[in-house]
Amino acid sequence: RFITAESSNLGEKAKHVLVSPELKLRDWSCVRLVYQISGSGSLQLHLRPEGETFDYTLWMAEKPSDSWLIASVDLRNTSGAYQ
């Protein structure tokens, strides 16, 4: 999947959200992100267990870069589904 989030015209506190389909551990063991942050901003990866309303921060990047970067985030073992 591919997403571009441009916030220069939306103000300093603009937020973009990409929600995955429901995942189960036997289908995935990690999430890989290929990203680039230009200017000020941040990128965060959150996990929401099934039946909960709270998101857990798994990973975050805040430094701008001149090139694309790759992040691989391991997912914890769980018997329930999550997004």
Write out pLDDT tens, residues 47-79. 887 788 888 888 999 999 899 999 998 877 666
- pTM (2 d.p.): 0.69
The residue extents of the domains of the chain are: 30-74
The pLDDT value recorded for residue 47 is 82
Where does the pLDDT of residue 27 fall: very low under 50, low under 70, confident under 90, or very high at 90 and above?
low
Report long-range pairs for 24-30 (Cβ below 8 Å, ≥24 apart).
Answer: 24/81, 25/75, 25/77, 25/78, 25/79, 28/75, 29/74, 29/75, 30/72, 30/73, 30/74, 30/75
Predicted pLDDT of residue 2: 64
Percent of residues, the chain, with pLDDT higher than 90: 11
